[in-house]
Amino acid sequence: APGLGDLAKRAGLKYFGTAIDNVVLDNDDYTDIAFNESEFNQVTPSNGQKWVHIEPKKGVFNYTLGDEIVDPSKDEGQMRRCHNFVWHNQLPDWLTTGNWTKTTLLQVLENHIKHEADYYWGDCYAWDVVNEAFEDNGTYRSDIWLNTIGPSYIEHAFRFARKHTSPGTKLYYNDYGIERVNAKSVAVQAMIKDFQARGVPIDGVGLQSHFTAGRAPLYSDIRAAQQLYTSIGLETALTELDVRIDLPDNANKTAAQARVYADSVRACVDEEGCVGVTVWDFWDPVSWVPESFPGQGNACLWDENFVRKPAYYAVADVLKRG
């Protein structure tokens, strides 16, 4: 049977992909699915390209964990979304405890982007340049970047990314909670309009799409949220889709989860500017959800026995209908 990647291409998307974490790469049942271009024609390293791993000491770069995902995906002919250059989380201690000025931290930022962009030159369909820079109320997130550099760290990061990534690499702003029209998604739109007025490069917005069955945005919400960005010329993608369940699971919840997955994927297929969907891992035992949300889980398309769940077939049906 055709996989989700095959079906996505037929439906007019560039890809249907998955995040892949390093901790399960020794599991052949897992890697047989993860590195299968028919099932997933795009991958995102869940952790392997983040700052803490890539530049563990100042000026010392280590691409091992990134390569563990990128290399096999290249062999398999999968696309890559690369994740990420700038985030408040998973930063090395030397960075978070350093005594920086605006000038020295901008130098650290450009040097990091320059090295990682150069190393993965030509490997990335897109880079998540800045991840999660806004609070839900639409103000900037208070973190080392904002507090040391000010809000201009975001545009600096995009300019550094354009300067150092290969031509054509799509530069994304990526966030959660922007899958509805709300204070946060509108603040992101305002930032982009300001960037466009001043010539700051940006190509796309990633709607992470970490949802909960029963409380997820509707199809129409996700359409309207994307149109904040597609209406001003950007592309969109659902970059981290998963749909967690309040445990214990039952057939009703599993069915509700399948509907959320299907509606989300349909909201991308139907949106002219939406290029693809990535699930934030496909196998329940490696999902980030149970650790972060005790009492919730089973958020993925495959269960612990590598059996495809109703959500898988619901997504496949949406893609088949195009």
Write out the catalytic residue numbers: 132, 240
CB of 210 closer than 8 Å to CB of 242: yes
Angle between helices 183-198 and 219-230 (to 10 degrees): 20
Q: Are strands 274-279 and 235-246 parallel, antiparallel or unpaired?
A: parallel
Is residue 212 involved in binding ligand G3I (CB under 6 A)?
no
Contacts (Cβ under 8 Å, ≥6 apart) of 32 = none
Give residue for tokens 């995009």. 158
CA–CA separation, 29 and 36 (whole Å): 11
Question: Of residues 18, 41, 42, 46, which one binds ligand G3I by CB under 6 A?
Answer: 46
Question: Of residues 38, 62, 89, 231, which one binds ligand G3I by CB under 6 A?
Answer: 89
Please identify, using beta-carbon distances, which residue of 90 and 147 lies nearer to ligand G3I: 90
CA–CA separation, 13 and 140 (whole Å): 32
Question: Of residues 18, 42, 47, 230, which one binds ligand G3I by CB under 6 A?
Answer: 47
Q: Which residue is nearest to ligand G3I (CB)?
A: 288
Please identify, using beta-carbon distances, which residue of 37 and 240 lies nearer to ligand G3I: 240
| Binding residues for ligand G3I restricted to 233-292, rule: CB under 6 A | 240, 288
Please identify, using beta-carbon distances, which residue of 208 and 230 lies nearer to ligand G3I: 208
State the binding string over 131-170 for ligand G3I (x if CB under 6 A, else -).
x---------------------------------------
Closest approach, Cβ 91 to ligand G3I, in A, equals 11
Is residue 73 involved in binding ligand G3I (CB under 6 A)?
no
Is residue 60 involved in binding ligand G3I (CB under 6 A)?
no
Cis, bond preceding 89 (omega within 30 deg of 0): no
Closest approach, Cβ 288 to ligand G3I, in A, equals 4
Angle at 18 between CA 255 and CA 123, to 5 degrees: 160
Is residue 208 involved in binding ligand G3I (CB under 6 A)?
yes
CB of 100 closer than 8 Å to CB of 145: no
* Per-residue CA distances from 280 to 116, 243, 288 (Å): 22, 10, 8
Is residue 44 involved in binding ligand G3I (CB under 6 A)?
no
CB of 144 closer than 8 Å to CB of 96: yes
Is residue 21 involved in binding ligand G3I (CB under 6 A)?
yes
CA–CA separation, 90 and 96 (whole Å): 10
Q: Which residues in this chain contact ligand G3I in the complex, by CB under 6 A?
A: 21, 23, 46-47, 89-90, 131, 208, 240, 288
